[in-house]
Amino acid sequence: MRRLVVWNVMSLDGYFEGRSPWDLGFLETVWGDELEAFSLEQGREIGTLLFGRRTYEGMASHWATATGAVADMMNSVEKAVATRTLDKATWNNTRLLKGDAAEAVRDLKAEDGKDIYVFGSADLLASLLSAGLVDGHRVCVAPMVLGGGNPLFKPQDQQVKMRLESARPLKIGGMILTYAVGG
């Protein structure tokens, strides 16, 4: 069974997006050679990138025309979109997961292959956490307080315990935290 790992950059106060959609200016506080190298290292573990519809649309519009090693990884890896509304995927190597997201992701995890990574997609993350489908979290905490925006973790009916596996400081000031889900 494949593992499902969530990766995001978030502000110190827990936001992965500023006050408006795709307000990601705070990423500049952590982006540099170290995070680029980490992204490529992480990319070697990815069998499938999983997105919710809104994140997919934003990622597709950015990465489809971007250049460089990270762009090459993003464009070549298999992608899946949990959606009830999209009828067609335009970004290469993308398939749609229609209907119940938890059920579709459970089936995706049962397939052979490398790990599944979720980027962005806070609403999808909430449903996957509730269904017990998340195996790990990697988050880069940016040294900035946004004071508002789109929180990475949405309100849940249950608490989810995490176990710290590693903490990796970035010279630029951020911190990459890796957690396993569960005690």
Percentage of the chain beyond pLDDT 70 is 99
For residue 181, being part of any structural domain is answered with: no
Q: Which of 6, 17, 21, 28 is nearest to 127 (CA)?
A: 6
User: 37-74 pLDDT, tens per residue?
Assistant: 999 999 999 999 999 999 999 999 999 899 999 999 99
What phi and psi values does residue 127 have, to the nearest 5 degrees? -70, -35
Domain contains 182: no
pLDDT tens-place string over residues 105-157: 999 999 999 999 999 999 999 999 999 999 999 999 999 999 999 999 999 88
Q: Which CATH number is 77's domain given?
A: 3.40.430.10
- Secondary structure percentages of the chain, helix, strand, coil, to 5: 30, 30, 40
pTM comes to 0.93
Domain residues for the domain of 20 are 4-160
Classify residue 138: in a domain, yes or no: yes
Question: Quick check: is 122 in a domain?
Answer: yes
pLDDT confidence of residue 156: 87
Tally the domains of the chain.
1
